[in-house]
């Protein structure tokens, strides 16, 4: 499973993976053009969207309407470490969401592959050629 990272111009860094080019840039304050999300923003959005695809699949398999449903993701920034130390995902359910599926829809969000990788992180090896 390979990915190619390229540096097209300025502060832009792109990832070519599975036939798509995922573009990133930096904020103007960091010397970028703000033409695309920052890499860390892309990482954070991958968490919520990954949980979202599992929630969506859960609902679609059961014929549950997802109108009005959303996931609110919040991050707690720890100033002493300079890192996020907690991520909250709140699945906002429509009023007519079946009570019997409330715990199960949370379980479906917990299947997110991004979350699982964060809980059991891979080892990194960085080399040059």
Burial of 15: CB neighbours in 10 Å, binned 0-12, 13-18, 19+: middle
pLDDT at 12: 98
Averaged confidence pLDDT in the chain = 97
Average confidence (pLDDT) over 104-126: 96
Q: How many domains does the chain have?
A: 2
pLDDT at 1: 74
Same structural domain for residues 57 and 32? no
Residue 126 has pLDDT above 90, yes or no: yes
If you ran DSSP here, which 8-state letter would residue 63 be given? Answer: T
Average confidence (pLDDT) over 77-89: 96
Query: Which domain does 96 fall in, by range?
Result: 39-119
Closest listed residue to residue 113, CA positions, set 39, 36, 23, 52: 52
Where residue 114 sits, what CATH number does that domain have?
3.30.300.20
Name residues whose C-beta falls within 8 Å of residue 51's C-beta, 6 or more positions apart in sequence: 71, 89, 109, 110, 112, 114, 115
Name residues whose C-beta falls within 8 Å of residue 107's C-beta, 6 or more positions apart in sequence: none
pLDDT at 53: 98
Considering the chain, what percentage of its residues have pLDDT values greater than 70? 100
Alpha helices in 23-101 (DSSP H): 39-62
């Amino acid at each position: 499973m390979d990915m190619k990272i390229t540096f097209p111009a300025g502060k832009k860094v792109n990832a070519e993976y599975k036939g798509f080019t995922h573009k990133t840039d930096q904020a103007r304050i960091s010397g970028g053009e703000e033409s695309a999300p920052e890499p860390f923003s892309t990482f954070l959005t991958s968490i919520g969207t990954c949980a979202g695809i599992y929630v969506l699949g859960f609902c679609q398999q059961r014929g549950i309407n997802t109108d009005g449903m959303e996931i609110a993701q919040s991050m707690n920034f720890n100033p002493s470490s300079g890192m996020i130390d907690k991520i909250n995902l709140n699945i906002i359910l429509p009023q007519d969401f079946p009570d019997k599926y409330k715990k199960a829809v949370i379980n479906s969000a917990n299947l997110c592959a991004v979350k699982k990788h964060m809980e059991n992180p891979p080892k990194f090896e960085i080399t040059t050629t």
